[in-house]
Amino acid sequence: MTRRAVWIAFAAVCVLSATSWIVPRVEGLPALELQGIRYGLIGLVALFGQGRLRFGRVGLRVAAAGVGFFGVPMVVGEWARFGVPEISRSALFAMVPVVVVMAVAAEDEEHGVRRFLVPALVGLGGLLLLLPLQFSGSLRGRLMQAAVCLAVVLVGLSSVWLCRLLSGLVFKEALAIVCLSNALFLLVCSAVRGEFVLGWSELASVVSLSSLVDVAEVVLLVWLLREMMPVRFAARYLVIPLLTLLESYVLVRPELTVRMVSGVMLLAAGGGMLVFFKAGEEETMLSLR
């Protein structure tokens, strides 16, 4: 696939994620059940197109890594939403590029991948200037904070793992395995939480503009996990907040402060360097293929 197509898909994912707060959400099913049904529909369509799946060691590893990348953060986010504000969760997930750089560096220390650590930290620092962390002081709140941090580490490690595993699979097969495993995981978690709802009126929320946006994003993410280098792909955790902040500024027009300008500049610099910074033999070094 051409690099131009990869970058177009990456830009589309970033724009879709950054503008998701503008898209109206239809009330209906609980969040985990709704996401589980969406993943299930994507997986079934992909399975129908592929015809068969290989449930060997590779398939099980892809399923596990896919749940670690998509499903676990959703479950943790739903559980921790009353103890860790959404803004703080977004700020914590900006640490994913740091985790990815360290994970890739552990795989191959000879090609200088650690030089990407500075841009990742610069972007993280910029986002922390813009989105100060706010946490609960209770024991339950601290446990939630710890769970979110563990989810951040899991997402970073899973993205590196998936990049290596998906390269050996046909895209439709990879999409089917990832989505069906996440559908099963999310629906089971929804049932365990006692939130599983069955009703035609609630199912109407599956057919909505927000669902279309989420489906497109999931398909693009799985494809990009196959096609992009892990560190480049992880830059989206800095680019998406940057785009969201710029959109909110255009719409809300808050008063500019030195802190806000400094944060945006650091966030843009960190994300831009992760996306465009050149390193020797980076294709071999970062793709882990």
- Give the model's pLDDT for residue 282: 47
Average the pLDDT over 7-35 and give the result: 84
Residue 163 carries which side chain, given as an amino acid letter?
Answer: C
Distance between CA 176 and CA 233 in Å, rounded? 21
Give tens-digit pLDDT for 70-97: 999 999 999 988 888 888 888 899 999 9
- Look at residue 213 and tell me whether its pLDDT is greater than 80: yes
Instruction: For residue range 231-249, list pLDDT tens digits in order.
Output: 999 999 999 999 988 888 8
pLDDT band at 114 (very low <50, low <70, confident <90, very high): confident
Q: Sketch the domain layout of the chain as residue ranges.
A: 27-287
Q: Render the burial of 219-240: b for 16+ CB within 10 Å, e for the rest.
A: bbbbbbbbbbbbbbbbbbbbbb
Closest CA to 98 of 14, 155, 162: 155
Q: Which are the contacts of 115, defined by CB distance < 8 A and separation ≥ 6? A: 277, 279
Instruction: Express as a percent the part of the chain with pLDDT over 70.
Output: 88
pTM score: 0.88
Say yes or no to pLDDT of 30 above 90. no
Q: What angle do CA 203, 151, 101 make, to 5 degrees?
A: 125
